[in-house]
Each structure stands twice: as structure tokens, then as C-alpha cells.
A and B are shown apart, each in its own frame.
Chain A
Amino acid sequence: MAKKSLTVNGKRVSVSYDDPQMPLLYVLRDNLDLHGPRFGCGLGQCGACTVHIDGAAVRSCVTPLSAVSSKQKVVTLEGLGTAQKPHPVQKAFIDEQAVQCGYCINGMIMQSAAFLAKNKKPSEAEIKAALANNLCRCGTHARIVRAVKRASAQA
């Protein structure tokens, strides 16, 4: 077993691994017991596993551990905010009740938080385009768009 240190949610952590090709998703979920990032496809097609690496929204299911350096800042849904102290985007999702099963919502929040950091006042079409590669099976799209709009209005 090899060891590697990572910066996750502002803390330095050490992870043991056999295979440097192990996707970051499994490091976060299984080694670090975080479950904001979710397994949806493992193929980079759905967005359920999205995390931030240095502020950019990244698909952790197709990001091998070897590609993440200890200096890079990995942030998961848990690192964004908590139920008691939610991030503005998380708060907007609560206010709009923009969740059905919620399995896709990690990706929706992480993707839109990264997007809003760059584009503070997006149009509805821009929001939809920014989320075009995040899939939701429950049909929560309309509420999710409203939540992102609400978050942008408050930013």
C-alpha cells in the first residue's frame, strides 16, 4: 500500500492506496467516508460525482488519484456548507425545494457553484447550458434552474 496526502475540504488528509489509477470518487467516498460526491455512471456522463478541484467542477469518477496533487484544493459538497450553515447555492436549493430524490443534486450544486463563481449574473439559457452535462432523472430541472437563479440574485 502506498500513501498520499491530499487537501480535502481545507484539511490535510492521508490516504492509502494500491492502485494510482483509482478514481478520486472512491478515495473520497470509501477512504474518507464523504458521501456528497455520488456514483452515477463512472463514465463522466452524468455529473453525480462532481467535486471542485481548485475551484473548477471536475468529474471525480474519471479523475485518477494520480492526477490530483496534494497542493490542489479538493472540495466536496460537505466542504461547501452544512445543513446549519449552508453555502448560498445550497441555501437556494433548500429555499426552492429543488430536490426530488436528490441523488443528482450534489452535481447540480457543485457545477452551479463553480459556474456562478465565474458568471455572477447568468441568463436562464446560460444556466441551462452550464448544466447541460448534468443529468437528472426525476425531472427536477425547472426547480434547479430557479434555485440557481435565486442563488445568483443573492450573490
Chain B
Amino acid sequence: MNIQISRRQALLGSGALVVSFSLVRPLGDALAQSQAKPLALTEVDSFLAIDKAGKVTVYSGKVDLGTGVTTALRQIVAEELDVPMARIELIQGDTLLTPDQGNTWGSLTIQLGGMQLRQASAAARQALLAEAAKKLGTDQLTVADGVISGGGKKVSYAELIGGKSFSIKLDPKQPVKEKAPKDYKIVGKSQPRVDIPGKVTGSFVYMQDFKVPGMLHGRVVRPPAIGAKLESVDDAALKKIPGVKVVREGNFLAVVASSEWDAIRGANALKATWSKSETLPDQAKLWEHVRATKVAKEDVTGNTGNTAEAMAKDGAKTIKATYDFAIHMHGSIGPSCAIAEFKDGMLTSWSASQATHNLRKQLAQMFSLPPEKVRCIYFEGAGCYGRNGHEDAAADAALLAKAVGKPVRVQWSRADEHGWEPKGPPTLMDMRASMDAQGNVTAWEGDFFMPQQTPAGFLVPLVAASLAGMPYADHIAPGNVFQNSAIQYKFPNIKTVCKRLETTPFRPSWIRTPGRMQNTYANECFVDELAAAANMDPIEFRRKYLDDKRGLELLDRLAALAKWEKRPSPQKAASGNVVKGRGVSYVKYELVRTYVGVVAEVEVDRTTGVILVPKFYVAHDCGQIVNPDGLKNQIDGNVIQTVSRTLYEEVKFDRSRVTSLDWEGYPILKFPQAPDVVIDLIDRPNEKPWGAGEPAAAVIPSAISNAVFDATGVRLRSVPYTPAKVKAAMQST
């Protein structure tokens, strides 16, 4: 399928080609077998196939967003089936081939997707053993490497099932018996990621590398202001570039050319006039704007006792604080890219979408096609931390492919990505609590201001559909941002309310740890404020209000790991210009799963206001661990990325548009500022595996703020903690 193989081969020798062939081949095979392939979550054949050579193909609706999770999924299948990992091929996120296991989000790939694969594999193994018992005439059987032995004879999986379907039903209410964790040989052991050798040598095929025969290259020309109307287009300057075409559909404008560089040149040379549009609030007054936005509904997420009564009690001391968390972008290091082709009434879309099944629904709506006429295929792109620009690039490519009647690849520019990917919405949190004379918390209240989630689904509107005036649903979909607004501590009176705002300045979507990060930030900073008010050690204070055994054990392990010195904050010894401090934060993710506790060590320069975080200690309990090294890699990523978000990141805008259009306008963490991450993994092989892609990120902003308080006695209640804010906070105390 890769048309330029021969030139590439000439340049390289043949070794590196294997990976790209094996990645591309299934797409071709797929067309042949498409009729027969079941997709229901209740069929083993939806998830697994074994061919005549004994190769196992796994069909995963969950995809690898750059986390390495498909190595872990292979481990789960290899373990349960007793086949070597090398014999497993994995096809991901293809609406024609893989079951709809839901978006790849919410730290659910192992927890949900992996467990569906484990069930399918267990059911397949059971059936293969039953079949082998008949063949071999004994039920005293052992399995190794996909070969079943018993009574001195052997039969392989390939001989039993090779090329045929299992035709076995799965019933979640009657789960199949799985292997006992004590017998695990592959799960629970660090396995090298299967994608890394190709990624470090250039043979891995990312979405940005994929090619379709005969494809053209498209580049979009977005309006200079959100809501601007396209008034006129002058393409005179394009005449010099051979074969460039302008596509205009309503306010959607793009150029298509036969090479990528010509498309870029064309887009730069195109002159367009747009109407003026100023729809955004004044950034300097963002928080007033958020506070003044109409509340569409209130979600009460915690309600115990009577907080008003407790706060009104004689002798109660009331403490209040307001926190805010800036607008963030995903900022994937590779801008979004997609290819689309219309052929024989069918739209095929290749993209790095985390949600190919949902993308199919949206593209079908946009082009008024039945969903069966749209096939969405996943190709791994650069790291994806939520719904970013991939789906929009897919819509751009589809619109252009339709307009020019050829396959079109769209590669967004850096400014397209920064300016037009959906954003993590601004979040504001008002916290109140009361304490009695002994320093016991008597009431806890939190109001969390965040956009509403419109009921019809988690479909972020496609930019191309809205610009071109094509059908789309105008959803507001920030994700399940209410999570972790309720608190994990046992206070006698609690009231937590999410004020779901009717609108938010930018098209919102979820970015790693959506809502859980913002809400945990306010909760864990405010708990720290109460600990200081009670003059108690911050870990001791948390322990006092926790009755969760796993949580308590985790805090003990964390204290030991970080060599935590028991004392109240702030520290007393502060002297000199650069002061050091430590801060703790703890979360039980969504109050029902993964536990994380962290200790941040910070250094604050009192003159410049610059914060450095040289070290983070992490204690992590996500139940059964599948790939310990892969898990540590994810935890590193959660910590380091969130240090960046906490210290540096804020989308800037004027009344018309995003003005943070490159890495200078939206700085992120660089190597000299990257912390060391010291991790203690708590493995519980007999428990369910929970997610790890997000939870550790939830506690980072609060741990840093608490550490800065420990160092300086100053509370930071506004993310990002820029030097200007740090200096202002120090001057006001």
C-alpha cells in the first residue's frame, strides 16, 4: 500500500520495512474478510482470531495513544491464552474490524478494555481445552506456547481452530473462569514495549507517515477570528504553484495540492478577507466572566448533614478560599493529521482519533451518510491526552476528499493545532469550611464552576462541519468534569455542588484528568489550608479523616518513601533567597478506584518568584499491575506533564481568537525544569486492575502549591503559578 516503498528500500536496505508492512497489511486483508467479522461485545470472535499458522490476532476497540498500552493488552491475552507475546498481532480502532469498546479515555483501557479481552481469551482457552480433551482422550491437559498436551500426545491451537471462528458467546453476567493470578508468568512482569524499537529507528508508521495511493495534500486556512465570515478570496498569488486548488465551502477554506509543500505555500499565499468577530471575553476579566455566566444546572455531588447549621454554630471558625485553573490545551507535539477517501459511496477515514466509533457517527451526520458507509481507521499519532484536533483534521480531510474526488491528507500546522484544537475549560472553585475550637473540621463546602455537559453524548462538534454549514450537533462536551468534586474525607457535614455553566469561552473538551485535576487541586489545597489552621502535620491531618484501609496504607508507604518529616507547615527554618519546602497530596480517583499519593519537593526563589520542582515521590495503587515498567512510564508522564501545566501553561487570547499560536506563546516545561520521579508501586495481583493514565496527574497542582506554602508561608490558588503571581502572593502576606 505504501507506494514509495521502492525508493525507501533503495535508501535503506530492507530491514526496516517489516514493521510498516505488517502495519499496513491488515487494512488490505480486512476488506476481504469484512463481511464475516463479528463486532458484538458478546462474541469471542469479535476480539480474537487464530490463524492456521497459530498467529493470534487481537481486535481492540481501545487504542494506543502513545501510552504503550497495547503491549499490556498483548500481555493480558498472551497470559490467558498461554501463547508467546510475539505471536500476537493487534488491530486497533477500526470500525469495520474492532468492537466498540468506547472511547480511549478515562484511564479505562486496561480496566474495561483489557478485562473484556481477558474474558474473551479465557473463554477461547476453555473451548480449546474442551476440544483438545476430546481429541487427546484425556482431560489431564497442560498448555504451553499455544500447544495443548495430555496423555503423551499434543495438539496445537492452530490445528484445533486455525482459520475458523470460535462462535462462543460472552455473557458479562456469567463471567468465564480466568487464570489464577498466582500462575501468571507474563502479567505482572515488565515487558519491553513492542513499538519502541521501530519508534527509535524511524521504521514505525505514525498517522503522519501513512500514505494512500493517489492522495493529494490539503491545508486549511482558518478564520482569523472565531465566528468570522469569509467575505472574499483572492487566489492570484497561487497561479505560480502548479496544480494547487482552492476549496471553499461556506466559511471553510483550504487548498489542495499534489505535494505537501505546495499545499503549505498555497495556504500561505492565499489572501482572504473575513468579517470582524469578537466573541471572547476580556482575558484580564476571565474569572469575573466565569462567575457571571448563567448556571444551566447544579449537580450536587456530596451532601451529608447540614453544613449551614454547622458553620453558624457558636465558636465555629470559618475558612474560605477561591481557586482558579487556567484554560489549557493538549499541545500534542505532532499536529493533527488525517487522510480521507470517498470511493463507491463509502467514506474511509484514517486518523489518530481516540474515538473512531464516535467519529464515524459524526462523519456520517456531517455527510448525511448511513454509519455503515463510513469506516474510521485508527493510526497512532503523537501523544494524545484527550479529544484534541484529530477528529477535526479527519473532518477537514473528508470534506476536501469529497470536494476534489481524490484521497486527501490534511496535516495541521502548529498554529492550526494551538489555535483550533478544543480547550480544557477555565474552572473556578469556591471552598468553605468550619472548624471548632479544637481544630476539628465541622463542615466542608465546595462550589465548582465548570461548563455543562449537554445530554446527547460526548461528541465535540467538528470544526469543518460548523464552518462549512454542514450538519452537526452543537454539543458542549467537556467530559465527566464533575468527578472528584465530592471529597474523600469523612467530615461530619459536607456539601459539594457543581455549577454547570451554560457556556464557556472556547469549544471545550477533555484533557488528561479532566475535572478530576481541577477539583482535586482545590480540594487537596484546601485540606492543606485546614491542616495548617489546625497546626497539624498535613499527612496526619488527612489520616484523621480517612477510614479507607488502602488509602491509609498508601499514605504510610508514601511517607516512608519520601522520608516525610512529621510537622505542621509552613517550615520554620526558612532563610536566604531560595527556600525549600515539601507538600503532600492524595486522591482516590473518582472516589472508587486508583489511589495515588505524592510528595513534591520545591525550591522557590523569593526574588524572581521562580518555582523549581526537583523531585516528586509517588505511591501508586491501581490494583493488579500488568506491566510495571509501562506503568512507571505512565506515572512519569503524568507527573512531568502536570508540572508543566501547573507552572507554565495558560492559553492566551484576545477578543477574537487564541493568541498562543506556537511554543513561545504557550511555553511548556523544558529539560532543565523536569523533576526526578521516585515511584513506589503497590501491586495487588489478586485485585482488579484499575487505570493509571490519569490519576497521578490529579494530585500534582495541589502538591506543588502545598509545598510552596511549606517553603514560603504563601498560598498559590491560581494555576499556572507564574513568577508574577508568586511575587504578588508573597508581597500580599
Q: A86 within 8 Å of B by Cβ? A: yes
Q: A137–B15 contact, CB under 8 A? A: no
**Cβ distance A102 to chain B, nearest Cβ, rounded Å:** 3
Other-chain contact of A131, B265, B380, B668, B671 (Cβ < 8 Å): B671
A sample of 7 cross-chain residue pairs with beta-carbon separation below 8 angstroms, ordered by A number, consists of A38-B334, A41-B414, A90-B200, A101-B67, A101-B334, A129-B671, A137-B331
- Of chain B, the residue at the smallest CB distance from A36 is B202
Q: B208 within 8 Å of A by Cβ? A: yes
Q: Provide the residues of chain B in CB contact with A143, threshold 8 Å.
A: 633, 636
Q: A40-B414, A100-B66, A137-B383 known; A84 and B637 CB under 8 Å? A: no
Q: How far is the CA of A84 from the CA of B12 in the complex (A)?
A: 13
Q: A19 within 8 Å of B by Cβ? A: yes
**Cβ distance B226 to chain A, nearest Cβ, rounded Å:** 22
**14 further interface pairs, Cβ-Cβ under 8 Å (given A77-B202, A103-B206):** A18-B262, A38-B334, A45-B663, A78-B11, A78-B202, A84-B15, A99-B195, A100-B66, A127-B671, A135-B333, A135-B668, A139-B641, A142-B640, A145-B674
Q: A48-B333, A48-B334 known; A137 and B196 CB under 8 Å? A: no
**Cβ distance A124 to chain B, nearest Cβ, rounded Å:** 10
Q: B182 within 8 Å of A by Cβ? A: no
Q: Mark A6-46, 1 if CB is under 8 A from B, else 0.
A: 00110101000011001100100110111110111111011
Q: Provide the residues of chain A in CB contact with B413, threshold 8 Å.
A: 42
Residues 21 to 75 of chain A near chain B (Cβ within 8 Å): 22-23, 26, 29-30, 32-36, 38-43, 45-46, 48
Residues 66 to 96 of chain A near chain B (Cβ within 8 Å): 76-78, 80-86, 90, 93-94
Q: A139–B636 contact, CB under 8 A? A: yes
Q: A138–B383 contact, CB under 8 A? A: yes
Q: Mark B232-266, 1 if CB is under 8 A from A, else 0.
A: 00000000011000000000000000011110010
Q: B12–A97 contact, CB under 8 A? A: no
Q: A93-B196, A137-B383 known; A83 and B16 CB under 8 Å? A: yes
**Cβ distance B6 to chain A, nearest Cβ, rounded Å:** 9
Q: B644 within 8 Å of A by Cβ? A: yes
Q: B192–A94 contact, CB under 8 A? A: yes
Q: A35-B205, A48-B334 known; A100 and B637 CB under 8 Å? A: yes
**Cβ distance B432 to chain A, nearest Cβ, rounded Å:** 34
Q: Provide the residues of chain B in CB contact with A84, threshold 8 Å.
A: 15
Q: A121 within 8 Å of B by Cβ? A: no
Q: A45-B662, A94-B196, A139-B636 known; A34 and B202 CB under 8 Å? A: yes
**Cβ distance B351 to chain A, nearest Cβ, rounded Å:** 15
Q: Provide the residues of chain B in CB contact with A76, threshold 8 Å.
A: 202
Residues 61 to 117 of chain B near chain A (Cβ within 8 Å): 65-68
Q: How far is the CA of A54 from the CA of B260 in the complex (A)?
A: 27
Q: Provide the residues of chain A in CB contact with B638, threshold 8 Å.
A: 139
Residues of A within 8 A of B (CB): 8-9, 11, 13, 18-19, 22-23, 26, 29-30, 32-36, 38-43, 45-46, 48, 76-78, 80-86, 90, 93-94, 97, 99-106, 109, 125, 127-129, 131-145
Q: How far is the CA of A136 from the CA of B385 in the complex (A)?
A: 13
Q: B200–A99 contact, CB under 8 A? A: yes
Residues 352 to 379 of chain B near chain A (Cβ within 8 Å): none
Q: B33 within 8 Å of A by Cβ? A: no
- Of chain A, the residue at the smallest CB distance from B196 is A99
Q: How far is the CA of A144 from the CA of B200 in the complex (A)?
A: 12
Q: B270 within 8 Å of A by Cβ? A: no
**Cβ distance B414 to chain A, nearest Cβ, rounded Å:** 4
Q: A34-B202, A36-B202, A83-B203 known; A132 and B672 CB under 8 Å? A: yes
Q: A33–B192 contact, CB under 8 A? A: no
Interface of A is mostly: loop
Q: B670–A132 contact, CB under 8 A? A: yes
Q: A36-B202, A138-B637 known; A100 and B334 CB under 8 Å? A: no
Q: How far is the CA of A61 from the CA of B662 in the complex (A)?
A: 15
The number of chain B residues with a CB under 8 A from chain A is: 77
Q: Provide the residues of chain B in CB contact with A82, threshold 8 Å.
A: 12-13, 15-16, 201, 203
Q: B208–A38 contact, CB under 8 A? A: yes
Other-chain contact of B202, A35, A133, A139 (Cβ < 8 Å): A35
Q: Provide the residues of chain A in CB contact with B10, threshold 8 Å.
A: 11
Q: How far is the CA of A79 from the CA of B633 in the complex (A)?
A: 28
Q: Provide the residues of chain A in CB contact with B335, threshold 8 Å.
A: 39-40
Q: Provide the residues of chain B in CB contact with A85, threshold 8 Å.
A: 15
| Total number of residue pairs linking A and B with CB closer than 8 Å | 215
Other-chain contact of A102, B204, B629, B640, B663 (Cβ < 8 Å): B204
Q: Provide the residues of chain A in CB contact with B201, threshold 8 Å.
A: 36, 77-78, 80-83, 86, 90
- Of chain A, the residue at the smallest CB distance from B384 is A101
Q: Provide the residues of chain B in CB contact with A104, threshold 8 Å.
A: 333, 382
- Of chain A, the residue at the smallest CB distance from B674 is A141
Q: B333–A139 contact, CB under 8 A? A: no
- Of chain B, the residue at the smallest CB distance from A10 is B11
Q: How far is the CA of A106 from the CA of B382 in the complex (A)?
A: 12
Q: How far is the CA of A84 from the CA of B205 in the complex (A)?
A: 17
Q: B664 within 8 Å of A by Cβ? A: yes
Q: How far is the CA of A133 from the CA of B669 in the complex (A)?
A: 10
Q: Provide the residues of chain A in CB contact with B8, threshold 8 Å.
A: 32-34
Q: B644–A83 contact, CB under 8 A? A: no
Q: Provide the residues of chain A in CB contact with B662, threshold 8 Å.
A: 41, 43, 45
Q: Provide the residues of chain A in CB contact with B663, threshold 8 Å.
A: 41, 43, 45-46, 135
Other-chain contact of A18, B11, B195, B242, B634 (Cβ < 8 Å): B242
Q: B438 within 8 Å of A by Cβ? A: no
Q: B411–A142 contact, CB under 8 A? A: no
**Cβ distance A109 to chain B, nearest Cβ, rounded Å:** 6
**Cβ distance A116 to chain B, nearest Cβ, rounded Å:** 15
Q: How far is the CA of A115 from the CA of B644 in the complex (A)?
A: 25
Q: A100–B333 contact, CB under 8 A? A: no
Q: A32-B7, A40-B333 known; A137 and B202 CB under 8 Å? A: no
Q: Provide the residues of chain A in CB contact with B630, threshold 8 Å.
A: 97
Q: A142–B261 contact, CB under 8 A? A: no
Q: B200–A86 contact, CB under 8 A? A: yes
Q: How far is the CA of A119 from the CA of B662 in the complex (A)?
A: 31
Q: A142–B204 contact, CB under 8 A? A: no
Q: B199–A99 contact, CB under 8 A? A: yes
Q: Provide the residues of chain A in CB contact with B381, threshold 8 Å.
A: 101, 103
Q: B193 within 8 Å of A by Cβ? A: yes
Q: B19 within 8 Å of A by Cβ? A: yes
- Of chain A, the residue at the smallest CB distance from B259 is A30
**Cβ distance B332 to chain A, nearest Cβ, rounded Å:** 6
**Cβ distance A33 to chain B, nearest Cβ, rounded Å:** 4
The 9 A-B pairs with the shortest beta carbon distances in the complex, nearest first, are A101-B66, A139-B640, A36-B202, A102-B199, A101-B383, A103-B382, A141-B674, A139-B637, A139-B641
Other-chain contact of B67, A100, A129, A132 (Cβ < 8 Å): A100
Q: How far is the CA of A13 from the CA of B332 in the complex (A)?
A: 33
Q: B198 within 8 Å of A by Cβ? A: yes
